[in-house]
């Protein structure tokens, strides 16, 4: 089944329901959105054939969603990449995926214009804000999507590349359908009048979430540039009401800080789905105190989009005491339609209480890494996707992530999971953000060091932090050095870039670094 049929169903059931808005302005209802999508699909069919890849490298715009569904409707494989990437990173995705076209916005068109000469397969760079793009839409009578089977590729998701070279996870129509169905079944169908505010990049979680939200006939709201700040997003959610958002922890923490001053500002928010990076217990506890049970967690990765485990909002609402604390420290329960196991080094299932590789299988899991047979073979083993995350089940089936396997620090032969140390340091009132990494050391192999950002108006006393660690974790785990910094390096999706922290700390090039 072509996943674009999910839009066609909403267009038949609720043709006059609001479908797409820019800021406060409603642009299209569902009948209008379907018409635009099918007209553009017809034009795309004249420049590309089913199975061809098209890159979407642009900021969030209403036409992003139109294009996304039109390309899927035409059987093309979409390759959404973050517009904040450097030109050479976008070029890598174009060349690696063998894309025939690159769609972009007027802010990026010039920088990308020369690429058709450089990337062999690339025939055109098209600015969706130009007349040439509008001219691609052609009225048609037959609106049936190109037939796709479940295994046909639909979306290539380039991993954000916090380590190594980005790899293209191939997601099929069946995978996107499984993701959408699991979303609706585990978190509930949004009620009539609901909207999804896409402040986060459409190339990642927010764009994936658009599929189940379109399937439920909800309004998709694209913020205008002035609505991209926390205050702007809150103003939009107040305007439309019943709003859902996807947010990485960094943005959520900022939103919580604003809403804690005036909780009424967040009255238009129905649910914030958070995920994409660890949400620390202290931060989540503060967020729940300010927003109440309007937070739902999603743990997924490009290779198993949005769907490994999660916590629905009502579960945070009904848990108390120790149960709530355990829930806040976890990434929740296995999602519908997926099987989840913790595997030991021999690939055998580990019992509850024992950490190991988080592995998943099910329809949602990627088919392969694009053109990377070796990486595919070492990641998809015996049908199980090895996520690269180290996790642990408790007796009740609640999953907690210990850390990324690649981030484990081995010091004096002992394993240290940075996440555990970070949780402790973040409980200090002077600490706003922290990242713990291992640095090479002649004596220990690696030593634990922490890069710490102070809360506004506070100063960090590293002896205080050391005392806190001694009270809470084994002595050998505590950082041997602290670096107080103004900010932590982050990827375009807000993920803390540990490899950059490591390299700058090794070279001591971190701005304002103070060794403690």
Residues that bind ligand AMP (CB under 6 A): 159-160, 275-278, 297-299, 301-302, 331, 387-389, 401, 404
Beta carbon nearer to ligand AMP, 137 or 309: 309
Beta carbon nearer to ligand AMP, 254 or 481: 254
CB of 159 to ligand AMP, least distance (A): 5
Beta carbon nearer to ligand AMP, 24 or 406: 406
Beta carbon nearer to ligand AMP, 270 or 404: 404
Beta carbon nearer to ligand AMP, 59 or 297: 297
CB of 444 to ligand AMP, least distance (A): 26
**Cα–Cα distance between 195 and 337 in angstroms, integer?**
25
> Residue 514 is encoded by which pair of tokens?
């103070």
CB of 189 to ligand AMP, least distance (A): 22
Beta carbon nearer to ligand AMP, 102 or 401: 401
Beta carbon nearer to ligand AMP, 62 or 332: 332
CB of 124 to ligand AMP, least distance (A): 28
- Residue 425's contacts (CB-CB under 8 Å, 6 or more residues apart) are 431, 434, 436, 450, 452, 465, 468, 469, 479
Q: Which long-range contacts (CB under 8 A, 24 or more apart) does 326-331 make?
A: 326/394, 326/398, 327/398, 328/281, 328/284, 328/285, 328/288, 329/281, 329/400, 329/423, 330/394, 330/398, 330/399, 330/400, 331/297, 331/299, 331/391, 331/399, 331/400, 331/401
Beta carbon nearer to ligand AMP, 38 or 304: 304
Rg for the chain (alpha carbons), in Å? 23
DSSP string covering 181-220: HHHHHHH-PPPTT-EEE--S-TTTHHHHHHHHHHHTTPEE
Beta carbon nearer to ligand AMP, 217 or 278: 278
- Residue 117's contacts (CB-CB under 8 Å, 6 or more residues apart) are none
Measured CA to CA in angstroms, residue 241 lies from 36, 197, 289 at distances of: 26, 10, 21
Q: Are 86 and 16 in contact (CB under 8 A)?
A: no
**Cα–Cα distance between 25 and 11 in angstroms, integer?**
20
**Cα–Cα distance between 51 and 72 in angstroms, integer?**
10
CB of 111 to ligand AMP, least distance (A): 24
Element (H, E) at 133: helix 131-134
CB of 54 to ligand AMP, least distance (A): 21
Q: Are 411 and 438 in contact (CB under 8 A)?
A: yes
CB of 56 to ligand AMP, least distance (A): 17
CB of 298 to ligand AMP, least distance (A): 6
Beta carbon nearer to ligand AMP, 157 or 444: 157
Q: Are 435 and 498 in contact (CB under 8 A)?
A: yes
CB of 221 to ligand AMP, least distance (A): 23
Residue position matching structure tokens 């979409």: 78
Beta carbon nearer to ligand AMP, 65 or 385: 385
Element (H, E) at 257: helix 249-261
- Could you give the 3-state DSSP secondary structure of residue 378? helix
C-alpha dihedral sign at 133, 136, 141, 146? negative
CB of 181 to ligand AMP, least distance (A): 20
Beta carbon nearer to ligand AMP, 75 or 300: 300
CB of 169 to ligand AMP, least distance (A): 8
Torsion region of 423: left, alpha or beta (phi above 0 gives left; psi -120 to 50 gives alpha): alpha
Q: Are 294 and 271 in contact (CB under 8 A)?
A: yes
Q: How many CB atoms lie within 10 A of CB 51?
A: 12
CB of 419 to ligand AMP, least distance (A): 9
Going by C-alpha positions, the residue among 275, 302, 304 that lies closest to residue 364 is: 304
Please name every residue paired with 445 in a beta bridge, in sequence order, or none if there are none. 441
């Amino acid at each position: 089944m072509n996943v674009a049929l999910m839009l066609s169903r909403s267009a038949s059931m609720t043709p006059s329901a609001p479908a797409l808005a820019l800021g406060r302005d409603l642009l299209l209802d569902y009948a209008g959105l379907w018409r635009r999508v099918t007209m553009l699909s017809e034009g795309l069919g004249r420049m590309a054939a089913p199975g061809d890849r098209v890159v979407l490298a642009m900021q969030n715009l209403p036409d992003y969603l139109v294009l996304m569904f039109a390309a899927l409707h035409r059987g093309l494989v979409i390759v959404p990449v973050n517009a904040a990437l450097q030109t050479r990173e976008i070029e890598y995705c174009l060349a690696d995926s063998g894309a025939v076209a690159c769609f972009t916005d007027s802010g990026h068109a010039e920088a990308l214009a020369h690429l058709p000469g450089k990337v062999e397969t690339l025939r055109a760079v098209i600015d969706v804000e130009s007349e040439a793009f509008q001219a691609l839409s052609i009225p048609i009578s037959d609106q049936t999507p190109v037939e796709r089977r479940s295994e046909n590729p639909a979306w290539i998701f380039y991993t954000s590349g916090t380590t190594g070279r980005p790899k293209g996870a191939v997601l099929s129509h069946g995978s996107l359908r499984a993701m959408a169905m699991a979303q609706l079944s585990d978190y509930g169908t949004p009620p009539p009048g609901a909207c999804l505010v896409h402040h986060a990049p459409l190339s990642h979680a927010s764009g994936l979430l658009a599929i189940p939200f379109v399937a439920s006939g909800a309004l998709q709201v694209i913020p205008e540039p002035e609505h991209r700040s926390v205050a702007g997003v809150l103003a939009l959610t107040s305007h439309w009401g019943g709003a859902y958002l996807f947010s990485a922890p960094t943005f959520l923490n900022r939103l919580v800080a604003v809403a804690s001053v005036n909780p009424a500002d967040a009255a238009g928010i129905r649910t914030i789905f958070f995920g994409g990076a660890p949400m620390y217990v202290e931060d989540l506890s503060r967020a729940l105190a300010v927003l109440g049970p309007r937070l739902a967690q999603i743990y997924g990765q490009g290779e198993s989009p949005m769907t490994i485990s999660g916590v629905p909002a009502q579960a945070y609402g009904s848990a108390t005491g120790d149960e709530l604390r355990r829930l806040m420290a976890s990434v929740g329960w296995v999602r519908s339609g997926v099987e989840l196991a913790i595997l030991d080094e021999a690939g055998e299932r580990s019992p509850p209480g024992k950490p190991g590789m988080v592995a998943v299988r099910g329809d949602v899991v990627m088919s392969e890494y694009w053109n990377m047979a070796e990486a595919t073979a070492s990641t998809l083993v015996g049908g199980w996707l090895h996520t690269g995350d180290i996790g642990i089940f408790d007796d009740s089936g609640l999953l907690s992530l210990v850390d990324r396997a690649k981030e484990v620090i081995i010091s004096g032969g002992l394993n240290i999971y940075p996440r555990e140390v970070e949780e402790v340091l973040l409980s200090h009132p002077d600490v706003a953000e922290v990242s713990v990494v291992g640095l090479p050391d002649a004596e220990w192999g690696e030593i634990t060091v922490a890069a710490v950002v102070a809360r506004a108006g506070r100063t960090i006393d590293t002896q205080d932090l050391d005392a806190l660690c001694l009270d809470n974790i084994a002595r050998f785990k505590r950082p041997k050095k602290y670096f107080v910094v103004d900010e932590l390096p982050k990827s375009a999706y807000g993920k803390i870039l540990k490899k950059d922290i490591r390299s700058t700390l090794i070279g001591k090039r971190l701005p304002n670094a103070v060794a403690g």
